[in-house]
Amino acid sequence: MDDLEDAMSELMNTESYIMVDIGANLTNKKFTRDLDSVVSRARDAGVQKIMVTGITVHSSKEALRLTRIFPETLYSTAGVHPHEAKSWDEETEGELRELAANNEVVAIGECGLDFNRNFSPQDVQIEVFEKQVSLACELRKPLFVHERDAHKEVLEVLRKYKARLPAVVIHCFTGDASQAAAYLKEGCYIGLTGYVWKDKSEDGVRRILEDGVVPLDRLLVETDAPFMYPNTRASKLPPYVKDALTERSLTFLHRYCTFQRNEPCSLPVTIEMIAAYMKKKSEQVALQTTFNAFKVFGLST
C-alpha cells in the first residue's frame, strides 16, 4: 500500500487530474472507427486507466482483446449483464472463468439485476447473478454490479455470500440515500457517472453527495461511455456547480462528446460536479477516487 501511496503522490505533480474511469463500453460499435483517438484524448484529459465493461461472453472477449492493444491503459471486466441473462448456457461459466484467468480482467461483471426493463425473466436474472457472485468469490475478483429497481433483491444475494465476498462496486448508482447507505453498510463501493447533472430528486444522488452519505474513500467514478453524457448546460444544474467547472474540462467535453456519444475524456467534468456537490476540491476527489480504483481492482502503477 505504501508503494501505491507514493505513486499517487508523484502523480499529483501534474497539470491535469489523474483519474481512472472504472466503466466505459468501448466495445460499443460507436467507437469502432476511432478508438485510438478516443483513448488518446482520454489520456490527454488525465484519464490514465479505463476499465472496458463486458456485458456478454462475446463482448468480454472483445474487451480483453482491447486491453492487449492498449496495455496498462485499458483493463476489462468479464460478465453477463442482467439484460442478457437469458443467454446463459452450460458453457458460459467456463468461458467467464477462462477470461477471468487473465491479469487484464480485473472484475466479474457487469452482472446484477434489472427489474426495470426485465429483458430477461427475473428468476433467470437472479440465478445468473448468483452464479457470477459465486465465481467472483471463488476467484477473489471484485464484483461489478448493475442494479435497477432491484435493490432489495441484490442485497439478498450479496448477503448470502457475505462471508466470502470480494470488493463489490455498485456501478452507475442512481438510487436514493437509504439505498446508498444500505450498500455502504454491506461494504460496497459506489460508482457515479455524469448522471449527477440530471438527478434533482429530493433524496437522490445530488443529495447523497451534499449530505456526505458516501464517504470519499468508498467512491469511484466512471463515464459509462458512450452513455451518461454530463450535460453541463442544463438549467437544472445549480450555478455554484457550473462555476466549479474548469475551461480545460469543458473543452474536452464540448469538443469531443455529445449526447449520442459520450467519451472517457468527459470524466474531469463529472469529477468537478461531484466535488462541487461534496464541497471538496476537485483535485482531492480525483486523487482519492483514483486511489480507490487502484486498491479495489489491483491496477498496476
Using the CB atoms, write b or e for 5-40: b if 16+ within 10 Å: eeebeebeeeebbbbbbbbbbbbbebbeeebeebbe
Residue with cell 470524466: 267
Distance CA 245, CA 273 (A): 7
The phi and psi torsions of 193 (rounded to 5 degrees) equal -120, -170
Residue 110 counted as an annotated binding residue: yes
Helices 92-100 and 122-139, interaxial angle, to 10°?
30
Element of type H or E holding 137 = helix 122-139
Cβ contact 112:82 at 8 Å: yes
Distance CA 24, CA 263 (A): 8
User: How many CB atoms sit inside 10 A of residue 121's CB?
Assistant: 11
Residue with cell 482483446: 65
Residue 146 counted as an annotated binding residue: yes
Cβ contact 232:197 at 8 Å: yes
Judged on CB neighbours under 10 Å (0-12, 13-18, 19+), 207 is middle
Distance CA 170, CA 117 (A): 18
User: How many CB atoms sit inside 10 A of residue 294's CB?
Assistant: 20
- Interior angle at CA 72, CA 68 and CA 73, nearest 5: 90
The closest of 294, 293, 273 to 282, measured between CA atoms, is 273
Annotated binding site: 110, 146, 171, 224
Annotated binding site for a divalent metal cation: 110, 146, 171, 224
